[in-house]
Structure formats: C-alpha cells, structure tokens
C-alpha cells in the first residue's frame, strides 16, 4: 500500500491488463457472453453511489464513468469489455485523475474497488484466462 502511495505521488493514472505485475491489476475473465456481462456491469455501475455513468458504447464494449474522490478530484474511468469467444468475456479498466498532481494511489484503489464489486456479483462466473 505504501508503494502505491509513493508511485501515486507522481502518477495520476492506473490501468489493468494481462501483463500487469500486480495480481489486483490483471484482466478479469468471466464465463459469460459479452452481452450478458455488459448488462450485469451496467446495472451494477448504475447502483454504485459514488459513480456517474457518462456514456456507453456497446458495439465497442466501452463504458465511461466518473467518480469524485474524498479530496474533490474527479477520476475518469473507462471499462472495456471484450469477447474472448461466444461464452467467455473479459474486462479491463483504465482510471485517471484530472489535474497535474499524483493521485496517492486513488486510481489503484478505484480499480480494485470496481473489480471487487464486479467479482462479488459475478464471482461464480470468474475464470482464469
């Protein structure tokens, strides 16, 4: 956690992916068709109090939300959903804070919070690659 805050002094974004060193930032895979995953994630995001759904582009698999942090900064968060095959999909998240200063690890915490909420709802469908 301290390492994240130190990195966050200079960096104001965080991203997930298959090659992420931190297991918390690895792409999430689910045994669900992309359309079903899309519906579940959209309905989940609409229920989260701190998040505002800005736009959704279903054919591209992109969902954009914002979140206000405790310090009053705004985070722009993009969730990208993509189909692996007809019965399997994945999610990656990019989160960036507006402004020139670092985020003190806020984007990392936002990503882990979102994955936590999604995993809680869809945990029975979660799979490795």
Report the alpha-carbon distance of residue 8 to residue 60 in Å, rounded.
Answer: 30
Digit-coded pLDDT (tens) for 114-123: 999 999 999 9
What pLDDT score does 54 carry? 96
For the chain, which domains are there?
2-127 (3.30.310.220)
What pTM was computed for the model? 0.90
Digit-coded pLDDT (tens) for 50-63: 999 999 999 999 99
Coil/strand/helix, residue 117: helix
Digit-coded pLDDT (tens) for 3-21: 555 555 567 888 999 999 9
Using 50, 70 and 90 to split pLDDT, how confident is the model at 69? confident
Is the model's pLDDT at 95 over the cut of 70? Answer: yes
Using 50, 70 and 90 to split pLDDT, how confident is the model at 70? confident
CA 108 to centroid of chain Cα atoms = 9
Report the alpha-carbon distance of residue 129 to residue 126 in Å, rounded.
Answer: 9
Is the model's pLDDT at 89 over the cut of 90? Answer: yes
Which DSSP state fits 94?
E
């Amino acid at each position: 956690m301290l390492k994240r805050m130190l990195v966050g002094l200079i960096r104001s974004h965080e991203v997930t992916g298959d090659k992420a060193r931190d297991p918390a930032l690895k792409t999430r895979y689910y045994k669900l068709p992309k359309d079903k995953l899309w519906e579940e994630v959209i309905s989940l995001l609409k229920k989260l109090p701190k998040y505002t759904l800005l736009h959704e582009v279903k054919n591209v698999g992109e969902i954009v939300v914002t979140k206000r942090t405790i310090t009053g900064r705004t985070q722009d968060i993009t969730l990208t959903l993509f189909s692996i095959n007809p019965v399997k999909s994945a999610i990656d998240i990019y989160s960036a804070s507006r402004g020139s200063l670092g985020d003190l690890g806020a984007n990392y915490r936002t990503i882990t919070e979102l994955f936590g909420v999604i995993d809680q709802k869809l945990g029975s469908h979660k799979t490795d690659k």
